[in-house]
Structure 1
Amino acid sequence: MNNQKRVQILERLRANNPHPETELHWSNPFELLIAVLLSAQATDVSVNKATARLYPVANTPEAMLALGVEGVKEYIKTIGLFNSKAENVIKTCRILVEKHGGEIPENREALEALPGVGRKTANVVLNTAFGWPTIAVDTHIFRVSNRTKFAMGKNVDEVEQKLLKVVPKEFKVDVHHWLILHGRYTCVARKPRCGSCMIEDLCEFKDKVYPAE
């Protein structure tokens, strides 16, 4: 795919959604970090249901620590992998309190040192909470980038590096949200909704799917 076509795609996605946001519910960087940590192999909907009960009780590292592992489990047991996630939440909160004064560090290395936080989670926090031009590549973004030929790669790291290279600066802060939403609702995994896709004519996917007349 050439750069002219990429810019056209990004302009359409921006026109449709000028101020995209994550579908995870959060009101401070700590809430965002915990929500993203909980969202691994889980839906945003399931995470939001759990945090709607959890955050009124504990939305700071100190309050979360007071709950303890078992206390956190009670609020997140409807989410997959809740046992290990509860342990990571408490370990993370302890480090935040002891090393960062209870604040979320605006620093990739410090974020990735937190239990359960990898590059993707750090990218989401840096982008969404702090406005960094980072691009977190999940399964949706990986699929959309490869399927459309927008930014092809064999793994998430390759796609991330390609996106960082080909996406113009003016789109970098928002492209993560546009692509994830496009993959979640239009360019879905099993049967992409090509007939209702706003970038269908620019997409280079060869096996497009259209509803029967």
Structure 2
Amino acid sequence: MNNSKRKEILTRLRDANPHPTTELNFSSPFELLVAVTLSAQATDVGVNKATDRLFPVANTPQAIVDLGLEGLRGYIKTIGLYNSKAQNVYKMCQILMDKHNGEVPESREALEALPGVGRKTANVVLNTAFGWPTIAVDTHIFRVSNRTKLAMGKNVDQVEQKLLKVVPAEFKVDVHHWLILHGRYTCIARKPRCGSCIIEDLCEFKDKTE
């Protein structure tokens, strides 16, 4: 795919959704960090149901430490892998209190040192909470990037690096959300909804649906 076609794709996605954001509910960098940590192998809807109960009670590292591990488990037990996630979030809160004065660090290295936080989670937090031009490649972005040929790669790291290289600076902050939402609602895994796709004529996917 050439650069002019890429720019037109991104322009259309921007025109359709000028101010995209995550579908996870959050009101602070800490709430976002917790929500993204809980979202691994879970839906945003499922995470929101849990955090809508948790955050009014405990939405700071100190409050979750005060809640205790068992108390935290009780709020997130509807989410898959809740036992290990509760342990990670609890330990994360202890580290944030001990090393970062209870604040979420605006540093990739510091974020990735937290329990349960990998590159993808760090990218989401840096992008959505702090406005960094990072691109967290999940299954949706991986699929859309390869299917359209916007940025092809054999794994999420390759796709991330290709996107960072080919996406113009003016689109970098928001492209993460555009591609996730496009993959979640239009370019879905089993049968893409090509007939209602605003970039169908630019997409280079060979097996388009009617």
Q: Same fold (TM over 0.5)?
A: yes
Q: Deviations over 1:125-167 (max 9, x none)?
A: 0000000000000000000000000000000000000000000
Written as runs of structure 1 = structure 2, the 5 A alignment for 1:37-116 is 37-116=37-116
Q: Note if 1:144 corresponds to 2:144.
A: yes
- After superposing on structure 2, the runs of 4+ consecutive aligned residues of structure 1 that deviate more than 2 Å are none
TM-superposed CA distance for 1:48, in Å, is 0.4
The TM-score, its normalising length taken from structure 1, stands at 0.98
The CA distance in 2 between the partners of 1:69 and 1:5, in whole Å, is 50
TM-superposed CA distance for 1:67, in Å, is 1.2
Letter in 2 for 1:42: A
The CA distance in 1 between the partners of 2:30 and 2:192, in whole Å, is 35
The CA distance in 2 between the partners of 1:128 and 1:6, in whole Å, is 23
The TM-score, its normalising length taken from structure 2, stands at 1.00
The CA distance in 2 between the partners of 1:124 and 1:137, in whole Å, is 9
Unaligned runs of 5+ in 2: none
TM-superposed CA distance for 1:95, in Å, is 0.4
Give 3-state SS (helix, strand or coil) of 1:94's partner. Answer: helix
The CA distance in 1 between the partners of 2:195 and 2:70, in whole Å, is 48
Q: Note if 1:30 corresponds to 2:30.
A: yes
- Pairwise CA RMSD of aligned residues? 0.4
Q: Deviations over 1:69-128 (max 9, x none)?
A: 111110001100000000000000000000000000000000000000000000000000
TM-superposed CA distance for 1:68, in Å, is 1.4
The CA distance in 1 between the partners of 2:68 and 2:199, in whole Å, is 47
Identity of aligned residues (%): 81
Aligned length: 210
Q: Note if 1:2 corresponds to 2:7.
A: no
The CA distance in 2 between the partners of 1:190 and 1:101, in whole Å, is 45
Q: Note if 1:184 corresponds to 2:184.
A: yes
Match of 2:197 in 1: 197
Letter in 2 for 1:178: W
